[in-house]
Amino acid sequence: MTNITSETVFSIVTLTILKVFTGGKDMSKAKIAWITDTTASLSKEFIEKHHIYVIPLHVVINDEFYKETIDITEQEFYERMKSEEGKFQSSQPSINDFVELYKKLKEEYDFGIAIHASSTLTGTYQSSVMAANMEDFKLFAIDSKIGSYPLSFLIKKGIELVEQGVDAEEVVEQLNALRSNTRLYLVPSNLDQLHKSGRVSGGQKILASLFNIKPILAIEDGAAQIKDKVRTDKKAIFWLASKLKEDLETKTVKKVAVVHANDPKKAAEIENYINENFPGIETEVLMLITVAGVHTGVGTIGLSWVCE
């Protein structure tokens, strides 16, 4: 008589659960839809190559709505912010955008993996989950608790894991674990937009202008936090570099993204500084996502990386 161990029983039960979830198909042969939003900073080439479905957030200029990357680019948004008076805001996608998408996807895919911007900063993640439930579309949803380069990293890592044969539940577990290793630091050029969005008072704005004080913001656990204040761009760069150096003492960082709100010259200077002081680390320059830029304003610069 063959002995059946507890490990064997666990494997059989796990396989059965996965087959039920995927309609009886082997996980390695399951057809998976990847879903995200326009805060992910993915290139058009990568999106097309991996058939990623990207739901656009909206930017709102003086109460007029534009779909990100479709009706307006990030550069166009920042150029208008610099030259026009009025209100500049961002808005999450309509839940109907997700309903229509998932209605289509459930006919073509076994299930989906969605990775979205921080649920603290936008309701996109919540809308995605609700729409999937409404359409009875099987979805693994991940709140990245961030955006920009780290969000694109999580998507690329997830696709890599699936291609290696890792099952969806393990992929989600690994990506959720990586969230605490993401870094995104931003340095606004001034406090105008932070004041308009209610993040700083009029008095703080005046004092900052008088003393040329620049706050350093970090996206931590899904929310923006003021980590420090410096007086010059040079000191801001030193501060950002010091955080990278701290991580490198105990962790591995293969790539650093320089983000900017339509200031390519300053971004190039920072990239050169990173290349000179951290040889061996790959760098990339990205435009800052508008959902962050509506608060931090034109000229914002920053650094981002993920510890592996």
Is the pLDDT reported for residue 29 higher than 90? Answer: no
In the chain, what are the domains?
6-55+93-180 (3.40.50.10440), 181-306 (3.30.1180.10)
Which residue in 121, 271, 116, 251 sits closest to 181, CA to CA? 251
Is the pLDDT reported for residue 243 higher than 50? Answer: yes
3-class SS at 285?
Answer: strand
d(CA 76, CA 193): 17
Alpha-carbon separation of residue 242 from 16, 219, 232, 236 (angstroms)? 49, 17, 15, 10
The answer to whether residues 230 and 239 touch, using CB atoms and an 8 Å cutoff, is yes
pLDDT in tens, 129-157: 999 999 999 999 999 999 999 999 999 99
Task: Among 4-13, 85-94, 169-178, name the most confident range.
Answer: 169-178
Q: Which residue shows structure tokens 């890599």? A: 160
pLDDT in tens, 260-289: 999 999 999 999 999 999 999 999 999 999
Q: Amino acid letter at 258? A: V
* 54 token code pair: 């990207």
What is the model's pTM?
0.86
d(CA 112, CA 168): 9
Residues of the chain with pLDDT > 90, as a percent, come to 71
Could you tell me how many helices (H) and strands (E) the chain has, helices first? 12, 13
Q: Amino acid letter at 88? A: F
1, containing H or E segment: none
Q: Which has the minimum average pLDDT: 29-33, 190-194, 266-270, 284-288?
A: 190-194
What's residue 22's pLDDT?
Answer: 47
pLDDT band at 191 (very low <50, low <70, confident <90, very high): low
User: What is the residue-averaged pLDDT of the chain?
Assistant: 86
d(CA 81, CA 297): 8
Which residue in 50, 179, 43 sits closest to 113, CA to CA? 50
What's residue 135's pLDDT?
Answer: 98
pLDDT band at 28 (very low <50, low <70, confident <90, very high): low
The dihedral region occupied by 148, where left means phi > 0, alpha psi between -120 and 50, and beta the remainder, is left
Mean pLDDT of 213-224: 87
Mean pLDDT of 220-225: 86
**Greater pLDDT, 12 or 250:** 250
pLDDT band at 189 (very low <50, low <70, confident <90, very high): confident
pLDDT band at 70 (very low <50, low <70, confident <90, very high): very high
